[in-house]
Structure 1
Amino acid sequence: MIYRDATPADLPAIDTLFRVSFTATFGHLYAPENLAAFFAGFTPEAWAEEFAQPDLRFRIAEDEQGLAGFAKTSALTLPATVTSRPHELRQLYLDERAKGSGAAQALLDWAVEEGRARGADELWLSVYIDNHRAKRFYEKNGFEDRGPYIFLVGEHEDEDRLMRRAL
């Protein structure tokens, strides 16, 4: 596995991996119109606008088949109550073939270091309440549940959990 900072040329592959991974993991939870409304917010222009934000960073994992995963960090956007300097892991997605490869750990380690490099002393994320594999992974890495968060997929309200790790 090779890890590197993303470039604008990577955005179409990131979008594809995001859609495939999200649908494989969560697609069964939503009516087709809610899933379509959610994905409508992820246009090439929206990805490019995010990529251009100075505080937002993308890191990708690649193998011989291409993009295997990505992570995205930024300043805190979640509605968390903080008393220190936060940073956020906004997305971490893997292709099915990369699960169990160590790519998730490498991307999370990068996100932690990215937060530290930006002067943060805590890292926040949200995770779907019934995504037990992801919750175990984050807990194993020092994240603690800090309460509920409503995540909208179209008009469907999911309960996510806000999680925090001291850096």
Structure 2
Amino acid sequence: MHPDTNESITYAAPEADRHEALRAMARTSFSATFGHLYDADPFTAFLDRAYGPGGAMEQDLGDPAVRWLVASHRSAPVGFAKLTPLRAPAPAPSPGALELQQIYVLAEWHGRGVAARLMEWALTTATADRAPEIYLTVFDHNERAKRFYHRYGFTEAGHCTFTLGDRTDDDRIWRRGL
């Protein structure tokens, strides 16, 4: 158990001078969860495209249509949620649907309520936006994540694939009405 309490976590939109630290945290979280599945060279190239300077995350940090909530401890990011217009290939989505595209929490903070607070923010924000539904994608074998999403009323609505290097994995598209 982490020695600090949840009260030491702050939640806020990402500050521009902290974007690099947030991208590094995302890279660490993704690597810890999925790094063992992929060959090193294509995995590193993916991480650079996703979380490196000029990568997809940096572009989303500059996009006003993308909303963020960052969980920080002593000014260091330990988790975040990213809410976007729907990007996943959801089957027959309602107009105005949103996507919880990422919810990442560093492993040492799992089970401490950080993910729950980020999820509650995403659902509250989507509801305030009058989104009819919210989607997310999840790796088919990420049982921990699927249990978490199920607790919040998400159910499987479709599937897609994620390709990295020579490996193609099944992802599931999950939906929750609002």
Give TM-score scaled by structure 2 length. 0.88
1:57-72 equivalences in 2 (<5 Å): 57-64=67-74, 66-72=76-82
Contact 1:128 1:159 in 2 (8 A): yes
Q: What secondary structure sits across from 2:59 in the alignment?
A: helix
Equivalent residue letter for 1:12: E
Name the CA distance, whole Å, in 2 between partners of 1:83 and 1:54. 22
Cα gap change, 1:148 to 1:107, in 2 (>3 Å) = same
Specify the SS of the correspondent of 1:44: coil
Q: What displacement does 1:83 show? A: 4.0
Over the residues paired in the alignment, what is the CA RMSD in angstroms?
A: 1.5
**Gapped regions of structure 2 (runs ≥ 5):** 1-8
Aligned-residue identity in percent: 35
Structure 1: state its 5+ residue gaps: none
CA contact (8 A) 1:147 1:163 kept: yes
CA distance in 2, matches of 1:165, 1:28: 30
Aligned residue number for residue 161 of structure 2: 150
Moved over 3 A (4+): none
Quickly say closer, same or farther: Cα 1:98–1:107, change in 2 above 3 A.
same
**Which of 82, 89, 106 is the equivalent residue of 1:95?**
106
1:87-112 deviation per Cα after TM superposition (whole angstroms, max 9, x unaligned): 00011111122111101010011111
Question: 1:153 Cα shift?
Answer: 2.2
Matches within 5 A, 1:106-117: 106-117=117-128
**Residue equivalent to 1:11:** 19
Q: TM-score, normalised by structure 1?
A: 0.93
Query: 1:26 maps to what in 2?
Result: 34
Is 1:8–1:48's contact at 8 Å kept on the other side of the alignment?
no
Q: Distance in 2 between matches of 1:155 and 1:13?
A: 30
| Residues 122, 165 of structure 1: 8 Å contact kept | yes
Equivalents in 1 of 2:78, 2:115: separation in Å? Answer: 10
Distance 2:93 2:72 in 1: 37
- Distance of 1:65 and 1:83 partners within structure 2: 38
Q: What's the counterpart of residue 151 of structure 2? A: 140
Q: How many residues were matched structurally?
A: 167
